[in-house]
A = this chain, B = another copy of it.
Amino acid sequence: MKRSNFFLPTLKENPVDAKVASHRLMLRSGMVRQSSAGIYSWLPLGLMVLKNIESIVREEQDKISQQILMPTIQDAKIWKNSGRYSDYGKEMLKILDRNKKELIYGPTNEELVTEIFSNNVLSYKDVPMCLYHIQWKFRDEIRPRFGVMRGREFLMKDAYSFDLNEDDAIHAYNKMFINYLNIFKKMGLKAIPVKADTGPIGGDLSHEFVILAETGESKIFCDSNIFKQSIDNIDYEDKSLVSKIVKHWTSFYSSTQETLDENLYHSLVSSNNRIQKNAIEVGHLFYFGTKYSEPLNASVVNEDGNKIFVKMGSYGIGISRLIAAIIEVFHDEKGICWPESVAPFKVGIVNLRQNEKNCSDISQNIYEKLCSTGVAVLYDDRNEGAGSKLADMDLIGIPWQIRIGPKSLKNNCVELKQRNKNDEVEINISNIVNEVRKKIVKQ
């Protein structure tokens, strides 16, 4: 993509009302624009990141569940049937249609997915089943703030598991636990599970996945050793392996403020391993048994001919919020530093002297070659000063920068620099495309 054709309205100044780094940087880098309180439009650069995050989530979720798509607008009736119509209070956006029928903008989908299951699944042969969707939700927050971190209209991945018995249901929960660790790892994040409250979703068992960040709105308490654990892709059907991995991860004390047991915390974690920090919630697991399947009559007939209410869990990841969370972790005073897996472009070309023919010819040539090998490149071909172009490229955070100017061209070279390091190196023009490709693949 050539910058001269790309809708990327970057801002030189910090917007006054943006209080956290991610909000400031998403506005300054032209990723989003607010259209109403807590409601954002995604401009091309922001949408590219949103899609990358979505792809990572989808690729992992497809290993353990099937994608569907429920609508944004739901009938109020199913919420009355589950007894949750009033639980959400004013956060639920209630709507009357032209026939005065009560609708709501879905803040989550336990009711609707349970209804779908109940109307379409009859036999025990169809469970275990796990369905997920990626759809916009609305929660009418009293104080929408921090940009897309706490917006009102937000994109969420929510999955729902249906099982015959508690043992299978816990296996579904455990699979999701490991799947989430892998999802966050792929985004370059160190997300850890903490024991959590179940809140308005309800149920017996719940974990939040959080990442540490000064601007985080929750406080977590944990054993620092949990950050040293690693995760890999596994055979999700290996029940005992899955259970073993989850037992290992949950053997390190971790809790939110609400679930903190101070005595336990102090007895289990030695003082120099205790971490008490602000964190951002990026995912949440709930197991709630028959809380929804009973009132909404989601049952199957088992092998013995008996009607069994399915045991359910739900599992959410805030897709749009994750972008803000990633920026909170990966930025410096100059701007965003995207992890490669979510970066909107892998390579940025900065032509330092747009009006010198040699610089432009070589920039264009490298740009075309990189594009033809399938690398996502943003080429800043505008007639602007070198300083302003470099500052913009730092701001938007593309992982690799190729800087092309008369000084290095004298040696038949261009400069290659990694966004988050101070190690620009001169590379011969004839090698630059291969060098860059090698570095991208290696990551």
Q: Taking the nearest CB of chain B, how far is it from the CB of A432, in angstroms?
A: 27
A75 touches which one: B30, B35, B115, B138 (CB < 8 A)?
B35
Instruction: Specify the main secondary structure of chain A where it touches its partner.
Output: mixed
Interface assignment of A44: CB less than 8 Å from any CB of chain B: yes
Of A89-97, A248-256, A347-355, A402-410, the segment with at least 4 beta carbons within 8 Å of chain B is A89-97
List which A86-119 residues lie within 8 A (CB) of chain B.
Answer: 90-91, 93, 95, 97-98, 101, 103, 105, 112, 115-116, 119
- Separation of A6 and B121 alpha carbons in the complex (Å): 12
Chain B residues near A103 (CB, 8 Å)? 36
Q: How far is the CA of A205 from the CA of B121 in the complex (A)?
A: 50
Q: Which residue in chain B gives the minimum CB-CB distance to A37?
A: B101
Which residues of B sit under 8 angstroms from A9, Cβ to Cβ? Answer: 120-121
Copies per assembly: 2
- Residues of B contacting A95 with CB < 8 Å? 93, 95, 105
* Interface flag for A231 (CB, 8 Å): no
The stretch from A65-73, A265-273, A274-282, A308-316 touching chain B is: A65-73
Q: Please indicate the chain B residues that have their CB under 8 angstroms from the CB of A73 in the complex.
A: 36, 39, 93, 105, 138, 152-153
CA distance in complex: A367, B440 (Å): 34
A68–B9 Cα gap in the complex (Å)? 13
Whether A285 sits at the interface, judged by CB under 8 Å, is: no
A142 on interface, CB distance cutoff 8 Å? yes
Binary interface encoding of chain A residues 1-25 relative to chain B, with 1 for a CB under 8 A from any of its CBs, else 0: 0000011010000000000000000
Offer 15 A-B interface pairs, CB within 8 angstroms, sorted by A: A35-B70, A35-B115, A36-B73, A36-B103, A37-B101, A39-B71, A39-B75, A41-B112, A41-B116, A42-B68, A42-B69, A50-B69, A71-B136, A72-B153, A73-B152
